[in-house]
Homo-oligomer: A and B are copies of this chain.
Amino acid sequence: MADDPLVIAGREFGSRLILGTGGAANLAILEQALLAAQTELTTVAIRRIDTTGGVAGVLDLLTRHGIEPLPNTAGCRSAAEAVLTAALGREALQTSWLKLEVIADDRTLLPDPIELLDAAEQLVDDGFTVLPYTNDDPVLARRLADVGCAAVMPLGSPIGTGLGIRNPHNIEMIVAQAQAPVVLDAGIGTASEAAFAMELGCDAVLLASAVTRAEDPPRMAEAMRLAVQAGRHARLAGRIPQRFWARASSPDR
């Protein structure tokens, strides 16, 4: 059924599911998952070459299937670290698109709002197309859009927890005030939560662990692909209002 494409920074995407590549047991499984998800954009991390197996592996895989890599700044703790990592990512992948992460600590992996906003401002000024991973604070989301981020990517819950969308009210407030596309990023554990994100009005969903660490990653990728479409259509279709008392769906006898 017809739907508008997702548009970020003037670029159109047919898929509203962005898959992260982290956590997959191996490239073969990752490849099946990426194909089942039918994603057009996928995150990659930037690391020293000798610290990783299969250096070129993931890039070749993405190139082979025409999936756009989105470098991230995962693990950066300060604006300065993130800005350097962003520059390296741009040079390595020849793209100005960036998933910006500035993490406050390893236990929560939550963004540091001050460092994140600082980094976002610098990177936007430097010509990056910045997609920041942020918490679900409507104020920070608005300020990130105000400094020129191409989208805002609030979490549903902390990275890898699978706790789903813990505060739908915040996501609804972010969507209601959004000056930029809203991508629900992090916390999704299962398909119904991805559908729910879209029903709340998000423009897309970004997830990794929910698929790559599932028992059957390709099948979960398929589930997420269907769920994002389902939630998007449900949002557009105009759901029935909630009622306290029942209403019959058959005529009176």
A residues near B, CB below 8 A? Answer: 1, 20, 22-23, 36, 45, 47, 51-52, 72, 74-76, 104-114, 117, 135-140, 142-143, 157-163, 166-167, 169-170, 172-173, 177, 189-196, 199, 208-210, 212-220, 222-227, 229-234, 236-253
Contact = CB atoms under 8 A, between A and B. Distances in A.
A248 B166 contact: no
A222 B3 CA distance: 12
Contacts of A230: 191-192, 194-195, 223-227, 230
A172 to B, nearest CB: 8
25 contacts: A1-B222, A51-B251, A74-B248, A105-B139, A110-B139, A111-B139, A112-B143, A113-B140, A159-B248, A160-B240, A161-B242, A161-B246, A163-B242, A167-B167, A169-B244, A189-B239, A190-B199, A194-B230, A210-B239, A216-B238, A220-B238, A220-B239, A227-B227, A227-B231, A230-B230
B169 A169 contact: no
A234 B246 CA distance: 28
Contacts of A76: 253
In this complex, which of A107, A223, A252 has the most chain B Cβ atoms within 10 angstroms of its Cβ?
A223
A239 B251 contact: no
Given A191-B233, A195-B191, A220-B234, A162 B45 contact: no
Contact of A160 (B135, B193, B246): B246
A130 to B, nearest CB: 17
B112 A139 contact: yes
A12 B220 CA distance: 24
A215 B227 contact: no
Given A226-B227, A248-B74, A199 B191 contact: yes
Closest 7 CB pairs of A and B: A215-B238, A160-B247, A22-B249, A74-B250, A223-B233, A226-B230, A220-B237
A242 B189 contact: yes
A227 to B, nearest CB: 4
A137 B161 contact: no
